[in-house]
Homo-oligomer: A and B are copies of this chain.
Amino acid sequence: MYDFASESTPAGIDYAPIGSRDLCDVVNADCGRRSDAVRLYDLHEHLFFDGDEICQIYEIIEGYVCVYKLMSDGRRQVISFGFPGDLVGFSVDQTHRFSAEAITMCRARAIPMQAIDKLVEDRPDFSRKLLRFAAFELANAREQLLTVARKSATEKLATFLVALIQRHGHRTDGDIIVELPMTRTDIADYLGLTIETVSRVISKFRRAGLIELTHPTTVRVVDMDRLRGIAEIG
Contacts and interface: CB of A to CB of B under 8 A. Distances in A.
Interface of A: 69, 71-73, 75-77, 79, 90-93, 97-98, 120-121, 124, 127-128, 130-132, 134-139, 141-146, 148-151, 191-192, 232-234
B145 A92 contact: no
A198 B93 CA distance: 32
A197 to B, nearest CB: 13
The residue in A75, A90, A93, A141 that gathers the most chain B C-beta atoms within 10 A of its C-beta is: A141
Contacts of A144: 145
A137 B149 CA distance: 18
B135 A92 contact: yes
B142 A98 contact: yes
Q: How many copies does the complex hold?
A: 2
26 contacts: A71-B146, A71-B150, A71-B233, A72-B232, A72-B233, A73-B234, A77-B150, A79-B145, A91-B139, A92-B135, A97-B142, A97-B143, A98-B142, A120-B124, A124-B127, A127-B128, A127-B131, A131-B131, A131-B134, A134-B134, A141-B141, A145-B145, A145-B148, A148-B148, A148-B149, A149-B192
B91 A150 contact: no
A127 B125 CA distance: 10
A138 B145 contact: no
A192 B234 CA distance: 17
Nearest to A137: B138
